[in-house]
Amino acid sequence: MPRTTPLLGDASRPGELVGRARLLSALLLSSSGDRWQHTRSVARRAREAVPAVTPTGGQRAGEVLVAAAWLHDIGYAAPLVDHGFHPVDGAQHLRSTGWPEEVVALVAHHSGARFTAAESGLGHLLDGYDADLGHRSPVAQALVWADQTTGPAGELVRVEERTAEVLRRHGPDSAQARCAAERVPALLHDAAATEARLAHLVGRERCSPACAHEGVWYLTA
Ligand SMILES: [Fe+2]
């Protein structure tokens, strides 16, 4: 039986996942300025990517994707900080409060966490989180697309711009910089896979500025 809180209820109940994820995210991040704007935009991007995951995963996959988008950065919230590695700190809280394991794994592994964890000597922290769910599934790839096409203040960016900004912000000696040769191509691959799925839905081989959907699809290479 999953643990619950009176306010957040049971996140495993069908149809309630996204609403409860949005509520928990707001409780933890809504006073955090740019991070909240980033989170809201990633959730919006994730909603746009839902058609990329439902053909293989059904409605449930879409709900899991959007819920994980709302929750992916909650590990930055001060009450949740434990290891100081936000993907795992967020996932640890979600697991301990009974969230579905798909969401837990997605948060733990989001946006190439395995690369920065390994470079920081924290790779063991991810051992208990399912890698197939967390970074090999179409849902995980769609979460990469949503997060990596959203800038730190919620603006739309290309994946290349996003990864370059991260390197500038963290510096050339950072773990992010040291693993960039592996992490950046992996992120580009996952985002491109998602765009290909979205492009397929409108009858194109791949997305291009000419087939931009409401002006928010971006080429990733
Ligand atoms: Fe993010």
Between the CA of 1 and the centroid of ligand 1 the distance, in Å, is 30
Please report which confidence band the pLDDT of residue 150 belongs to, taking 50, 70 and 90 as the band edges. very high
Higher model confidence: residue 2 or residue 159?
Answer: 159
Its CATH architecture, for the domain 17-211, is Orthogonal Bundle (1.10)
Residues with Cβ within 5 Å of ion ligand 1?
Answer: 73, 147
pLDDT at 100: 96
Tokens 């397929």 sit at which residue? 200
DSSP state of 12: T
Between the CA of 151 and the centroid of ligand 1 the distance, in Å, is 8
* Backbone region of residue 110 per phi and psi (left: phi > 0; alpha: psi in -120 to 50; beta: other values): beta
pLDDT digits (tens, 9 = 90+) for 167-194: 999 999 999 999 999 999 999 999 989 9
Between the CA of 175 and the centroid of ligand 1 the distance, in Å, is 17
Between the CA of 109 and the centroid of ligand 1 the distance, in Å, is 12
Segments in the chain forming alpha helices (H): 17-29, 34-71, 86-96, 101-109, 113-119, 131, 138-148, 159-170, 175-178, 180-201
| % of the chain at pLDDT higher than 70 | 85
Q: What are phi and psi of 217, to 5 degrees?
A: -90, 145
Could you tell me the two tokens for 218? 């971006």
Between the CA of 209 and the centroid of ligand 1 the distance, in Å, is 24
Cα 213–Cα 49–Cα 128 angle in degrees, nearest 5:
160
Between the CA of 4 and the centroid of ligand 1 the distance, in Å, is 25
Please report which confidence band the pLDDT of residue 212 belongs to, taking 50, 70 and 90 as the band edges. very low
Between the CA of 117 and the centroid of ligand 1 the distance, in Å, is 16
pLDDT digits (tens, 9 = 90+) for 10-24: 665 667 999 999 999
pTM for the whole structure: 0.89
What average pLDDT does this structure show over 186-204? 84
Between the CA of 116 and the centroid of ligand 1 the distance, in Å, is 14
Please report which confidence band the pLDDT of residue 206 belongs to, taking 50, 70 and 90 as the band edges. low
Between the CA of 42 and the centroid of ligand 1 the distance, in Å, is 7
Could you tell me the two tokens for 4? 């619950």
Inter-residue contact 80 to 89 (CB < 8 Å): yes
What average pLDDT does this structure show over 146-158? 92
Between the CA of 135 and the centroid of ligand 1 the distance, in Å, is 15
Average pLDDT, the chain: 88
How far is 206 from 203, CA to CA, in rounded Å? 9
Any idea where the domains of the chain sit in the sequence?
A: 17-211
What average pLDDT does this structure show over 64-88? 98
Between the CA of 173 and the centroid of ligand 1 the distance, in Å, is 21
